[in-house]
């Protein structure tokens, strides 16, 4: 049984022993892991820890300011330095489409900024809130988490000039939350839904452009507002280029769905996109197909389906197509041609290692979809992501 109090006591001693009287920086995004790690380290070495908040441009609207205010005020009172990185990150990711290339470019930019700050502040240590699933997924090759170096044989001291300390590296997210509560961290932070280090760069699937990123920021805001009442473990949107690819399995997928629905007078449309998304099949990474499903009924309206049918549809696609990593179901009726589609992603999970999708009332899905459509004319349609983890991951990339 995990004992957060004993964990805190042990870690404070361990951090003191490692850092002694040295100064250290900590990259703090305001998320549960990095905030807990910052508070723990602050308790261990006081103001010898400098929190660095990098504005990557991939935070949600208004978030950098909010996080800075939260961390620098009671009860945290952390010493925070805000670093502007927007241009550097946008340039580093410009033109990249592949998810792993984007993640690596993000990671390199992130650490080169931290290396500069560490040098300027005369810090030879970087403390970071890496947790166990970050390491496991990176080492297994599922996806490169931005905050994992040594475990994949990158030597931080040689490359960036600092030694890394990871006090939370043996914990799962729910254990980090227990530590956070024990440390007295307010629930606004301890119960906060996770937000990936590379932020919206992993939710703007494929190439990132300023316009696509702005559309994603607006869509995310809408989803956070509309789904809050349901209190899912994690919920957000992803935006994907609406470029279709020929799909040889269209007819077979349609036939299976027709059999599952047992409904006459519906038309079924099955499409797939050029852009790929991350999944996990047979325990390994699959950069797989995104399959779009649309079922139209009376007045050409998208048909409400039960969560059992949602599950059967995604299972049926997955069993027919071993290269599929996502199944999305259309929730908006309006037909228009735009550059992108938006996926609503919402999951229930304890450890973020496996996850099921949230049961969202159809009315809420449709209202949310309509609002997202009206937020940007370049969005063709809005879908709900039906895929559990595995075979998908929680984030799209
Ligand atoms: P996946 O997409 O791997 O997500 O199923 C599992 C959980 O981890 C979060 N996540 C990240 N967190 N850096 C982080 O700090 C990352 O690079 C990263 N990628 C995913 C994700 O939001 C989910 O909660």
Give the pLDDT band (50/70/90) at residue 320. Answer: very high
pTM value is 0.93
146 in ligand 1 pocket by Cβ < 6 Å?
yes
Class of domain 204-385: alpha beta
- Residue at token pair 């006459």: 264
| CA 352 to centroid of ligand 1, rounded, Å | 8
Q: Are 42 and 49 in contact (CB under 8 A)?
A: yes
Give the pLDDT band (50/70/90) at residue 397. Answer: confident
Q: Is 16 exposed, middle or buried (0-12, 13-18, 19+ CB in 10 A)?
A: middle
168 in ligand 1 pocket by Cβ < 6 Å?
no
Give the pLDDT band (50/70/90) at residue 143. Answer: confident
Give the pLDDT band (50/70/90) at residue 315. Answer: very high
Give the model's pLDDT for residue 279: 95
| CA 395 to centroid of ligand 1, rounded, Å | 6
Which atom number of ligand 1 is nearest to the Cα of residue 355? 5
pLDDT digits (tens, 9 = 90+) for 194-219: 899 899 999 999 999 999 999 999 99
- CB atoms inside a 10 Å sphere around CB 78: 21
User: Of the residues 168, 285, 395, which should be mutated to test ligand 1's pocket, given the most ligand atoms within 8 Å of the CB?
Assistant: 395
30 in ligand 1 pocket by Cβ < 6 Å?
no
pLDDT digits (tens, 9 = 90+) for 94-123: 999 999 999 999 999 999 999 999 999 999
Residue 50 has pLDDT above 90, yes or no: yes
> Encoding tokens for residue 135?
């390491």
Give the model's pLDDT for residue 157: 87
Give the model's pLDDT for residue 51: 96
Which atom number of ligand 1 is nearest to the Cα of residue 131? 15
325 in ligand 1 pocket by Cβ < 6 Å?
no
138 in ligand 1 pocket by Cβ < 6 Å?
no
Which atom number of ligand 1 is nearest to the Cα of residue 349? 24
234 in ligand 1 pocket by Cβ < 6 Å?
yes
102 in ligand 1 pocket by Cβ < 6 Å?
no
| CA 196 to centroid of ligand 1, rounded, Å | 5
Share of residues in the chain with pLDDT > 90 (%): 87
- CB atoms inside a 10 Å sphere around CB 108: 15
Give the model's pLDDT for residue 140: 83
Helix/strand/coil (H/E/C) assignment for every residue in the chain: CCCHHHHHHHHHHHHHHHHCCCCEEEECCCCHHHHHHHHHHHHHHHHHEEEEEEECCCCCCCHHHHHHHHHHCCCCCCCEEEEECHHHHHHHHCCCCCHHHHHHHHHHHHHHHHHHHHHHCCCCEEECCCCHHHHHHHHCCCCCCCCCCHHHCCCHHHHHCCEEECCCCCCCHHHHHHHHHHCCCCHHHHCCCCCCCCHHHHCECCCCCHHHHHHHHHHHHHHHHHHHHHCCCEEEEEEEECCEECCCCHHHHHHHHHHHHCCCCCEEEEEEECCCEEEEECCEEEEEEEEEEEEECHHHCECCCCHHHHHHHHHHHHHHCCCEEEEEEECCCCCCCCCEEEEEEEEECCCCCCEEECCCCHHHHHHHHHHHHHHCCCEEEEEEECCCECCECCCCC
Closest C-alpha to ligand 1, atom 22: 196
Closest C-alpha to ligand 1, atom 8: 196
What are the start and end residues of each CATH 3.40.50.620 domain in the chain? 4-192
Q: What average pLDDT does range 33-55 have in this prediction?
A: 96
352 in ligand 1 pocket by Cβ < 6 Å?
yes
Give the pLDDT band (50/70/90) at residue 283. Answer: confident
What are the start and end residues of each CATH 3.30.300.10 domain in the chain? 204-385
For residues 226 and 372, give the distance between their C-alpha atoms in angstroms, rounded to a whole number.
Answer: 11
Closest C-alpha to ligand 1, atom 6: 352
389 in ligand 1 pocket by Cβ < 6 Å?
yes
Give the pLDDT band (50/70/90) at residue 389. Answer: very high
Contacts of 345 (CB under 8 A, 6+ apart): 234, 235, 236, 237, 238, 385, 394, 395, 396
Nearest to 51 by CA among 2, 152, 123: 123
Residue 122 sits at φ, ψ, to 5 deg, of 55, 50
Closest C-alpha to ligand 1, atom 19: 196
Q: What average pLDDT does range 337-347 have in this prediction?
A: 97
Q: Are 203 and 236 in contact (CB under 8 A)?
A: yes
CATH topology of domain 4-192: Rossmann fold (3.40.50)
pLDDT digits (tens, 9 = 90+) for 213-260: 999 999 999 999 999 999 999 999 999 999 999 999 999 999 999 999
For residues 107 and 90, give the distance between their C-alpha atoms in angstroms, rounded to a whole number.
Answer: 13
Give the model's pLDDT for residue 218: 98
């Amino acid at each position: 049984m995990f004992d957060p109090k004993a964990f805190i006591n042990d870690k404070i001693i361990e951090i003191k022993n490692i850092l002694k009287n040295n100064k250290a920086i900590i990259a703090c995004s305001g998320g549960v892991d990095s905030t807990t790690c910052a508070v723990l380290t602050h308790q261990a070495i006081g103001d010898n820890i400098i929190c660095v908040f990098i504005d990557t441009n991939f935070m949600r609207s208004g978030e950098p300011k909010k996080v800075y205010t939260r961390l620098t005020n009671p009860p945290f009172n952390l010493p925070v330095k805000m670093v502007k990185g927007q241009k550097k990150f946008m340039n580093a990711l410009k033109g990249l489409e592949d998810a792993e290339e984007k993640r690596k470019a993000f990671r390199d930019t992130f650490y080169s900024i931290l290396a500069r700050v560490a040098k300027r502040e005369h810090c030879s240590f970087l403390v970071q809130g890496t947790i166990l699933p970050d390491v496991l997924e990176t080492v297994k090759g599922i996806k490169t988490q931005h905050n994992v170096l040594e475990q994949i044989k990158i030597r931080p001291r040689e490359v960036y000039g600092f030694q890394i300390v990871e006090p939370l590296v043996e914990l799962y997210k729910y254990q980090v939350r227990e530590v956070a509560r024990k440390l007295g961290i307010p629930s606004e932070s301890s119960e906060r839904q996770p937000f990936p280090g590379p932020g919206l760069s992993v939710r703007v699937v494929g190439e990132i452009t300023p316009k696509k990123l702005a559309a994603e920021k607006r869509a995310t805001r809408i989803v956070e507002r509309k789904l809050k009442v349901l209190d899912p473990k994690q919920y957000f949107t992803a935006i994907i280029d609406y470029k279709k690819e020929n799909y040889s399995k269209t007819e077979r997928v349609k036939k299976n769905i027709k059999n599952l629905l047992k409904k006459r007078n519906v038309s079924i449309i099955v499409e797939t996109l050029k852009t790929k998304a991350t999944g996990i099949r047979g325990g390994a990474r699959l950069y797989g197909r995104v399959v779009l499903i649309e079922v139209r009924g009376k007045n050409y309206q998208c048909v409400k389906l039960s969560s059992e049918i949602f599950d059967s549809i995604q299972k049926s696609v997955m069993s027919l197509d071993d290269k599929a990593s996502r199944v999305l179901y259309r929730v908006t009726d309006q037909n228009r041609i735009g550059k992108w589609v938006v996926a609503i992603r919402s999951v229930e999970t304890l450890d973020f290692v496996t996850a099921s999708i949230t049961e969202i009332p159809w009315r809420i899905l449709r209202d949310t979809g309509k609002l997202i459509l009206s937020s940007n004319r370049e969005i063709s349609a809005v879908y709900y992501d039906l895929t559990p983890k595995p075979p998908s991951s929680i984030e799209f990339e």
